[in-house]
Amino acid sequence: MIMQKELISDAQLVSNYIRGEESALEVLITRHKQRIYSFIYSKVFDRDISEDIFQDTFIKVIRTLKRGKYNEEGKFLPWVMRIAHNLVIDHFRKNSRMPKFDNSGDFNIFSVISDNALNAEKTIIKGQVEADVRRLIDELPEDQKEVLVMRMYKDMSFKEISERTGVSINTALGRMRYALINMRKVIEKHNIVLTN
């Protein structure tokens, strides 16, 4: 029975869970809890806060899965880690606004100073989002992709774009507009989550 559980992929477990198999969630949590919890603890260094963030992470996971808003691309763990990471950031944001008093009653200056190590995590997430956006752009029709890349990645004016591509400015503008409309359609259709 245990060996069977190890052979089932995360994607399959997620699929089973969405179809109503509650036990699939337990397998997923057991499989990944150490990785996720350790990650949270390595940022907050507090067991109680780690428990809260871990719990909140999975509440979000459960709600998204049950609402049918999850887009399966074989990336269950990175998705959960991203949720956990964002909750860690929320925790630090809340705490830096209000100084936290520890139990001894002394004011602890270190709970007001934010954690600079998070910048490395933010950079990684930013990289992932940018990679996702690039993949979406690759799906566009060639003429729309061309205009969008020139505008967003090469910072060209529409006048320059129209000269380079040999079409009128209005046509270039229209292609840009359709590029954005089409990207939004794909994002909506596949329930892709790009932002924090």
**Residues 128-164 as b or e (16 or more Cβ within 10 Å = b):** eeeeeeeebbeebeebbbbbbbbbeeeebebeebbee
Q: Which of 12, 55, 114, 123 binds other proteins (CB under 8 A)?
A: 55
Taking alpha carbons only, the member of 12, 46, 59 closest to residue 31 is 12
Q: From the CB of 32, what's the least distance to other proteins, in Å?
A: 11
**Cβ 3 to other proteins, closest distance in Å?**
22
Q: Which stretch binds other proteins (CB under 8 A): 42-50, 126-134, 137-145, 169-177?
A: 42-50
**Are the C-beta atoms of 82 and 39 separated by less than 8 Å?**
no
- Asked if 38 touches other proteins (CB under 8 A), the answer is yes
The distance from CA 156 to its chain's CA centroid, rounded to whole angstroms, is 29
User: Is the Cβ of residue 29 or residue 129 nearer to other proteins in the bound state?
Assistant: 29
**124 touches other proteins by CB under 8 A:** no
Question: Under a CB-based contact definition with an 8 Å cutoff, are residues 147 and 172 in contact?
Answer: yes
Min dist. Cβ of residue 22 to other proteins (A): 6
Distance, in Å, from the CA atom of 66 to the CA atom of 77, rounded to the nearest integer, reads 17
Kindly indicate which of the ranges 32-40, 81-89, 142-150, 179-187 contains the residues binding other proteins, using the contact rule CB under 8 A: 32-40
33 near other proteins (CB under 8 A)? yes
Q: Does 195 bind other proteins (CB under 8 A)?
A: no
Nearest distance, CB of residue 72 and other proteins, angstroms = 17
Looking at the Cβ atoms of 29 and 133, the one nearer to other proteins is 29
Place of tokens 């998705």: 79
Q: Which of 9, 12, 46, 62 binds other proteins (CB under 8 A)?
A: 62
**Residue 41 binding other proteins, by CB under 8 A:** yes
Alpha-carbon radius of gyration of the chain = 22
Query: In 3D, which of 148, 128, 145, 119 has the Cα closest to residue 192?
Result: 128
Residues in region 64-93 near other proteins by CB under 8 A: 66-68
